[in-house]
Each structure stands twice: as structure tokens, then as C-alpha cells.
Amino acid sequence: MLGGNVLWLSVVSLLNDAASEMIYPLLPYFLVGTLAAGPAFLGLVEGVAESTAAFLKLGSGWLSDRARRRKPLVFWGYAIATVARPLIGLVVVPWQVLAVRFADRMGKGVRSAPRDALLAESVPAGRRGLAFGVHRAADHAGAVIGPLLATAVLLLFPEHLRAVFLLAVIPGALSLVVIALRVREPAAVAATARVEPPHESSETAPPAADARARAARPHETPATALSAAAPPASAEPARPLFARVRAGWRGPLGGFLAVLVIFTLGNATDAFLLLRAQDLGVPLAAIPLLWAAHHLSKMLWSVPGGLAADRLGPLPAIAAGWLVYALTYGAFAYASRAWHAWALFLAYGLFYGLTEAPEKALVARLAPAGGRGAAFGAYHFSIGIAALPASVIFGAIWGVFSARAALLFGGTLALLAAVLLPLLVRVPPPAET
């Protein structure tokens, strides 16, 4: 059985992604069509937003290790996004979209690493791939629901994109209620949180204070006192943030993150694929439905991908996913009809199924003792810090040369990363916890 946190955090992601995906598939058209920005500015918006989130993910993961509490950061991260996201319905110039996306991704930066660490600590080590797969499936289910809700609003109020954006606040607010009432700190983390290091040693403690402490604990033996005062053996003290990051990059996690950065440099925002779909003849009214179909594919592949990571190991699944990405981008480059876009968006979902849950299961396995939050922070940071140049470079190639050139660039880097992954990364056997 998967823990209750897996269920409730999955519900939270479903609701939050429903809110986010009411907006996201319409954002490229709103930005380029309504506000008259170009593809390069779209790349800048998405790149700056994701890179900003990356720095916060790094810090929030480390902070959750140090505080031994994950839930508050998870709650406030979702709260920031819930408040900021619908403000896109009020913007009138392109730079305001950048500001709103910046705030939205700040929320993601605060919540992502603590949430992933909380999920990893809520299940046994051998079921983490499945747990992350279930969570990602729920997230993608929300991304199916969101565009359908957007389509329903547009059918009732044609061309009223701002109404869709403003109504996105409703599912976001519901996600906050679920976090507040149902999500719990894992027992091991909560126990560590209750342990406070003594401010004075026994040699320097005042005799009167020591006597009062013994009187307050008449049945305590030296052995029980020691066990009460000491943190769990597996809980390594949280080192300063950048010391933890340096240690992670020198260890086995570093090789994976280095290859991940290479892949991410060719992995621009999917907003460009939505623009490509419009170029191929998919009408604007069908774009939310295309996006919903894509997320349906992602949802269906998420659990099988997580199970593959548990049974075969995460590296084969990740390498296969990156190969699927390279093939899909190559096909997008040479597609010529609207139905090609539909078929390729469905195939593209397999890439997510083979990479999202396996990557997180691998990070949990490679994380140093007591530093799982920081490890997830470094993982999200590595992706996010490469997202800005990835989207900007992709947008520049698209604008200066062609969409085909940009898509082939992304596919080539994915192929290179798939080749390097088994050469540079060695995975230890899974631990018991």
C-alpha cells in the first residue's frame, strides 16, 4: 500500500495542475497574438520563470532538511502560485506576463523539492518509482481536466481568454484546503524535527537546573536519556546549503545532474510545440483539447514508467525516454499536417512517462543521508538553471532560422544525453528506507 501522503499530494497536484493548465495552452496565443509579443519573448518568459524557480528549489530543499519539516514549504509554495497565476487575466502588456509567470514559478520553486522529499519519505525505497508515477499520473490528470474546463468556458464565452485565466483560482484554492487538512509530515521526519540539540553540555549545565531536569523525569535511565537526546542514526546534520550542493555534485548524483543539464539545454518549453501545432493547422479552439490529449497520454504512461524504474532500474527508463524525445522532436521538425501534431503529442507523452518518475526515484536513491531535500533541490535547480538558455536559444534559432532547425537542435542534444547517461552514471543498489 502507498502511504496517505501519496494519495493526498496526488490530489493536490491534480487540482493545482487543473488550475495551471486552464491557462498554459492558451498563453502562447495570448502572448503572441493578443499582446503582440514574438517567439523570442515567449522563450524569454518561460526561461526566466523556470530559472527563477530553480534557485528557490535549491534553497527550499535544503531548508526543509534543516528544519526537518516539509509541509509548511509545500503549503506556501502552492499558495503563492494560486494567488499569482490568475493575475494573467488582468495584464495588458507583455512584461506583465513575465512578472506573473515569475511569481507563479516562485511558488513552484518553494514547494517542489520539499514535496518530492516528503513523497520519497512516505513510502519504502522499493516503491518510490510507483509512488512518483502515481503522483505524476494525478498531476497529468489535472492537466487533462484544466484544458477541458478552459474549453467549456470558451464555448460559453467565446474569445474571453481573460475569464478562463481568472477562474483558474478555484481549483488552486481547493488544493490548499487539501494540504492543510490531509497532508502529514512523515513519522521519521517529524521525530527528527522534535529533537533539539542541547544548548549547554552536561559539564557546564548549572547543578540546580540539572537536578530539576532529573526530577521532572524520575523514571528516565541514562540509556533512555541518551536515546531521547540523540537524533536517528540515519539523520545527518543539515550542512550549509552550498556545502551540501558541492558534496552532491562530487558524489554519484553529480554525474547524473551533469548529463541532465546537457539534455535540458535542448528541452525548451512545450509552448513552442503548441505554436508548431498551430503552424501545422490545428485551430486555436482545438489547442486546449490537443493539450488535454497530450496530458492524457502522459497520465497513462506515468505509472508504467514508475514501475519500470522499480523493476528494471531508473537508468534504462530514463535513457529510453530521452531517445523517445529525440525521435519525437525529429518528427515534429518534418511534420506537415494537423493530424501529425495530434499523433506526435500523443507519442510525446511516452517521454514523460519514462523520465519523470524514474528521474525522481534515481535522485532519492543517490541522495546523501539526511540530505534528500537538498538533493531534490539540486535536481530541480539543474533543470531550471538550464531552462533559461534552453528556451532563449530555442526561440532564437526558431526566429532566425526556422522551427525545423530549432526542433532538430533539441533532438540532437537529447540523443547525446541518452548516449552519455550509462557512461557517466553508476547507480548503487537501493537502500531499505
- Asked whether the predicted pLDDT for residue 204 surpasses 50, the reply is no
Exposure string of 77-112, with b = 16+ CB inside 10 Å and e = fewer, is: bbbbbbbbbbbbbebeebeebbebbebbbbbbbbbb
Q: Give me the mean pLDDT over the 192-213 stretch.
A: 40
Of the pLDDT bands very low, low, confident and very high (cuts 50, 70, 90), residue 196 is: very low
How high does pLDDT run on average in the chain? 78
Query: Which cell is 247 given?
Result: 558534496
The C-alpha atoms of residue 24 and residue 288 are separated, in whole angstroms, by 9
- 3-class SS shares of the chain: helix, strand, coil, % to 5: 80, 0, 20
Which pLDDT belongs to residue 339? 92
Residues 6+ apart with CB under 8 A from 3: 122, 123, 131, 186
- Asked whether the predicted pLDDT for residue 87 surpasses 80, the reply is yes
Q: Give me the mean pLDDT over the 362-372 stretch.
A: 76
Residue bearing the bigger pLDDT, 225 or 328? 328
Question: What is the Rg, in whole angstroms, of the alpha carbon atoms belonging to the chain?
Answer: 23
The C-alpha atoms of residue 331 and residue 334 are separated, in whole angstroms, by 5
Which helix (H) or strand (E) segment holds residue 5: the answer is helix 4-23
Dmax (CA) of the chain: 84
- Asked whether the predicted pLDDT for residue 360 surpasses 60, the reply is yes
- Least trusted range by pLDDT, from 29-38, 79-88, 237-246, 387-396: 237-246
Query: Which cell is 262 given?
Result: 546537457
Which pLDDT belongs to residue 430? 59
Which pLDDT belongs to residue 343? 94
Which candidate, 432, 54, 364, 373, places its Cα nearest to that of 193? 373
Strands (E), 172-327: none
User: How many Cα neighbours within 13 Å face the side chain of 325?
Assistant: 29
- Asked whether the predicted pLDDT for residue 298 surpasses 80, the reply is yes
Which pLDDT belongs to residue 313? 82
Rounded to the nearest 5°, which phi and psi values hold at 124? -65, 155
- Asked whether the predicted pLDDT for residue 218 surpasses 50, the reply is no
Query: How much of the chain, in percent, has pLDDT values that exceed 90?
Result: 21
Of the pLDDT bands very low, low, confident and very high (cuts 50, 70, 90), residue 348 is: very high
Of the pLDDT bands very low, low, confident and very high (cuts 50, 70, 90), residue 379 is: confident
The C-alpha atoms of residue 250 and residue 254 are separated, in whole angstroms, by 6
Which pLDDT belongs to residue 154? 84
The C-alpha atoms of residue 260 and residue 28 are separated, in whole angstroms, by 26
Q: Which pLDDT tens digit goes with each residue over 100-120?
A: 888 888 888 888 888 888 888
Rounded to the nearest 5°, which phi and psi values hold at 319? -60, -40
Which candidate, 269, 282, 284, places its Cα nearest to that of 336? 282
Of the pLDDT bands very low, low, confident and very high (cuts 50, 70, 90), residue 207 is: very low
Query: Which cell is 330 given?
Result: 525529429
Residue with cell 499558495: 79
Q: What is the model's pTM?
A: 0.67
Which candidate, 386, 432, 367, 433, places its Cα nearest to that of 61? 367
The C-alpha atoms of residue 64 and residue 426 are separated, in whole angstroms, by 27
Q: Give me the mean pLDDT over the 278-303 stretch.
A: 84
Domains in the chain, ordered, with CATH?
Answer: 4-183+239-424 (1.20.1250.20)
- The three-state secondary structure class of 64 is helix
- State how far the alpha carbon of 17 is from the alpha carbons of 11, 53, 82, 171, 186, in Å: 10, 17, 11, 9, 24
DSSP code of residue 372: H
